[in-house]
């Protein structure tokens, strides 16, 4: 047993197709469409009108009502997903060293509800009517801090914000902390809840979101007729643990995380580098870190945003990295079902990838109708598929050129390099 091995022992998810890993998994397997017209506010005058909203979320199922009122929605999501993962890992009934348990939960926008409400009060009633709790509602680190306080986690704490790669960066950074021996347990992931007028209007202005108002084919990664992403919301949290610590607890292990890559395009604030250089290098870095032959990877959970540029660049990058083996890879994007959760996407997609390795279920890319000559991989499009996976990769690429890739393998697969 390698003392630096890191395993996944707990999963939590708040998504537009299910709250809780069981419900989320069932939604993925069924190819459930979580895209619909926005209900959070009136979108009549906005260019884009569809989103992947989390329905039926009751914060008081996870947080007492008084505390919940003082939190933004993204913090509530983060706490709920953390509680699920914490319980799933059996940590509620296990006495662990709090000084060696840490947390990393990132976000991209943070408390957009608080920002908009606070600004409205400032303009309409003046500064004396501002509530001091607006500060704790809007800060990006609040989800991480609140979970740390809730469970007494006194080890490393961080809250990265790297746009759409945030969740993967959070998990990768937690992986590194455990590899260094600086902790025994890390909760890691991300949360986003910014389906509110201001960020919505700003993304509409970038024209990166779809103008399609048909929910049945709006989010269609790799399809020839895709025209932009559909914004979603949600959170994904995982419990990562030193293998020896997990074995001492006799807890179920979902998979082993073995590789992490992190690169920058250094090219443009929104567009990917045309030759896919950053994407290529980040996948190569993750594979190198995993010390794994490319033939071991059977599935890639793609970033797959449903934008013209991202999908063709990611497809080209996969072909460059995997060569002839690219023809044997299964590829899918769950953004077709849940939309693009922005900073929340990487962690929710990582949870999905872990479930694929653990159960052998590959989720489909729904809404795929017409092939694109520039996207020629084996996209899973006709329902979920079963595959005995040895290892899988999850990709995340963000505005500003941040790239992150994570590699996980089936726990107990000793033959890593063949």
Q: Which residues are catalytic?
A: 164, 303, 340
CA–CA gap between residue 386 and residue 244 (Å, rounded): 31
Nearby residues of 44 by Cβ (< 8 Å), 6 or more positions away: none
- How big is the CA angle at 13 (ends 107 and 363), to the nearest 5 degrees? 110
For strands 361-362 and 385-386, give the pairing: antiparallel
Note whether 38 and 288 are within 8 A (CB): no
CA-closest candidate to residue 240, choices 95, 105, 110: 105
In Å, how far are 52, 199, 235, 412 from 194, measured between CA atoms? 11, 7, 12, 40
């Amino acid at each position: 047993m390698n003392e630096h091995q890191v395993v996944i022992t707990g999963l939590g998810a708040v998504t537009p197709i299910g709250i809780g890993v069981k419900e989320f998994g069932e939604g993925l397997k069924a190819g459930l469409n979580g895209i619909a017209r926005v209900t959070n506010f009136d979108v009549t005058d906005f260019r884009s009108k569809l989103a992947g909203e989390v329905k039926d979320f009751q914060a008081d199922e996870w947080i007492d009502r008084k505390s919940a009122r003082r939190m933004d929605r993204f913090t509530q999501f983060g706490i709920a997903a953390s509680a699920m993962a914490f319980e799933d890992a059996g940590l509620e009934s296990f006495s662990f060293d709090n000084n060696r348990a840490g947390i990393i939960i990132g976000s991209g926008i943070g408390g957009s509800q608080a920002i908009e409400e606070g600004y409205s009060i400032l303009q309409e009633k003046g500064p004396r009517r501002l509530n001091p709790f607006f500060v704790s509602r809007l800060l990006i680190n609040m989800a991480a801090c609140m979970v740390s306080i809730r469970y007494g986690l006194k080890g490393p704490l961080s809250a990265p914000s790297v746009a759409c790669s945030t969740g993967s960066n959070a998990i990768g950074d937690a992986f590194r902390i455990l590899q260094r021996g600086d902790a025994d347990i890390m909760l890691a992931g991300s949360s986003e809840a910014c389906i509110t007028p201001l960020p919505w209007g700003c993304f509409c202005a970038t024209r990166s979101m779809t103008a399609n108002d048909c929910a049945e084919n709006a989010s269609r990664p790799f399809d020839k007729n895709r025209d932009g992403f559909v914004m979603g919301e949600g959170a994904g949290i995982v419990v990562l643990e030193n293998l020896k610590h997990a074995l001492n607890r006799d807890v179920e292990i979902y998979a082993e995380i073995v590789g992490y890559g992190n690169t920058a395009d250094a090219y443009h604030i929104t567009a990917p580098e045309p030759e896919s250089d950053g994407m290529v290098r980040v996948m190569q870095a993750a594979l190198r870190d995993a010390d794994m032959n490319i033939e071991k990877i059977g599935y890639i959970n793609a970033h797959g945003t449903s934008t013209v540029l991202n999908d063709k660049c990611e497809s080209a990058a996969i072909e460059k990295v995997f060569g002839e083996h690219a023809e044997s890879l299964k590829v899918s994007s769950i953004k077709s079902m849940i939309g693009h959760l922005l900073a929340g996407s990487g962690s929710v997609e990582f949870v999905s990838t872990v479930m694929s390795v653990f159960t052998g279920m590959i989720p489909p890319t729904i809404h795929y109708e017409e092939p694109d000559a520039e996207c020629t991989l084996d996209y899973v499009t006709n329902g979920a598929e079963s595959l005995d996976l040895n290892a899988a990769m999850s990709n995340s690429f963000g505005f500003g050129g941040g790239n992150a890739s994570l590699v996980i393998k089936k726990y107990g697969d000793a033959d890593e390099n063949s």
